[in-house]
Each structure stands twice: as structure tokens, then as C-alpha cells.
Structure 1
Amino acid sequence: MIKKVEHVAIMVKDMDEAIAYYSEMFGFKLRDRGQSPTKDMAFIYHENQPGFEIELIQDLVPLGDYSDKGIVNHLAFTVDDIEKAMAYYGEKGIQFTTETPNTGVGGSKTLFFYGPSRELLQFVQPAKR
């Protein structure tokens, strides 16, 4: 039976750039990093949700084990105030796919943007209940 979300894997072009981006932009910390003959992998986590990790994978050979599986559709982060998040991260250089947040399912507010390897990322402000 499923207990929780364990991690999401994201294909990256440059491992050092990806680790730096998630660390500096969002406060993730590196838990572990290792290589096999075909790939470089790193696991990062956030102190506010240490039971969930992002696995970053860089194929070291063309069309390695994972590169034909896709990058991931998107990874979503919860925020308290999407307009404040948009202003804060906009000042850090993030360019959002729309100028204003979208209305999501149940009245949530959503906003998409891209990470350094063109992975689709999203902020979600849950609807007030």
C-alpha cells in the first residue's frame, strides 16, 4: 500500500548546474550523489518536507538508460501566496509561462515556469477551504 510520495526523477543536462539551481533557488539540500558507468545521480530534499526527494539524473552516454523516458511532465511546489512567490522568484530571474497565475482545480492558483534543463515546474497556492 502507498504510504507517501518518495521522489520524482528529473532528467538534467548538467548535474552541477541542476544541484546549484535547486539549492540556491529553492533551498534544497544534497543528500547523496553517485555515478554508474552510464549515469550521474543525485538526491536532494527540502528541510520542510524531508521525506520527499527529487532524484536528478544525467545520462553520461547518449541515449543512456533514462534519457528516452522523458524529463517528467512537471513538479509542483506549494506556496502560501502565489503573487508574492511570483514577485520574489521573478527578481531571481525566473520567467513564468504566463503573466498572471491560472485558476486550477478547486480554485487553487497555479503558475508554470522552466528549470535549467527545460523541466516544467509549477507553483500551487491551494484554495482556501
Structure 2
Amino acid sequence: MISKMEHVAIMVQDINQSITFYSEIFGFKVRLRGSRPGREIAFLYLESQQDMEIELIQELTANIEYSQTGIVNHLAFTVENIVETIEYLKEKDIVFTSEEVKPTLERGCMIHFQGPNHELIQLVERVK
């Protein structure tokens, strides 16, 4: 079902400062930067491990519930077929945070659910 670890999302207060920190201190590079209503997002990677990323999320609106889920916001895993994976996980009594698969910045799709310790887990199907 899961083909690889996708990314770790971190809630940040200043996305520019965080990009500078991870770039200058650790050598990360920005692969993608974009926004959604009320949110700035950036994906960073290392040249030596390009298939595992850090996602930085800056909430632009203080009242968004998403930001209250922790500094390390979620773990994301790549799946080959999100519909099949959802069906499999529902058979294991996994309850998703929404009934709908949502689009990613790169026109893929994603869905969330909670792990046994209420950690947020995201499944991502990338565009092929």
C-alpha cells in the first residue's frame, strides 16, 4: 500500500525565515512554494535525498483549526492508488477526517486520518 515516506509537515510562524534557516544551515532547497486561502506552503528537499521532504506551513489566519494540531503537523506517505488504499484502511476501521479526497498543490490528491496517538497522517497520490 505505502510506497515511501513522503514528507513531514512543520507549522512555522515565518515561512521566509524558516526557508532561510533550512537552506543556509542544512542545505535544503525549495522544490515548490505556493499558497492556499489563508496558508503559505513550501516543500524543501536535500540533493542527497530528494524523495523525502519537509513541508513548511504558515497559517495567515490565526483562527484556523489546522494550526492547532501541533508544531509537527503531520506525517505523509506516498501511495500508488489512493482509492484502493482508502478502501483497505476502511476495512481496518480507519476513520478519515473528511469523506472527500482533496487536491494537492501539484494536482495530485490527498486525504488525512489520525493514528493511534491522534497524530495526523496524510496519504498522497502524486500525479503520474
Please, what TM-score do these two structures have when normalized by structure 2?
0.55
Kept after mapping to 2: 8 A contact 1:15/1:57 = yes
SS of structure 2 residue aligned to 1:5: strand
Whether 1:40 aligns to 2:43 is no
Quote the residue 1:18 is aligned against. Answer: 18
Q: Aligned partners of 1:36 and 1:50: how far apart in 2?
A: 24
Letter in 2 for 1:39: R
Q: Aligned partners of 1:63 and 1:49: how far apart in 2?
A: 35
Q: Percent identity?
A: 56
Please, what TM-score do these two structures have when normalized by structure 1?
0.54
Q: Which runs of 5+ in 1 are unaligned?
A: 74-129
Return structure 1 stretches of 4+ with deviation > 6 angstroms: none
Quote the residue 1:72 is aligned against. Answer: 72
Quote the residue 1:4 is aligned against. Answer: 4
Structure 1 vs Structure 2 CA RMSD: 1.7
Q: Aligned partners of 2:22 and 2:55: how far apart in 1?
A: 11
Larger radius of gyration: 1
Tell me the CA shift for residue 4 of structure 1: 1.2
Letter in 2 for 1:21: F
Letter in 2 for 1:18: S
Tell me the CA shift for residue 66 of structure 1: 2.0
Q: Aligned partners of 1:23 and 1:9: how far apart in 2?
A: 16
* Structure (1 or 2) with the greater strand fraction: 2
Paired residues for 1:1-129 under 5 Å:
1-72=1-72
Tell me the CA shift for residue 65 of structure 1: 4.6
Q: Which runs of 5+ in 2 are unaligned?
A: 74-128
- Aligned pair count? 74
More contact order relative to length (CA 8 Å, sep ≥ 6): 2
Instruction: Provide, for residues 28-83 of structure 1, a one-character-per-residue CA deviation record: whole Å limited to 9, x for no partner.
Output: 0000111112100000000010000110000000032521110118xxxxxxxxxx
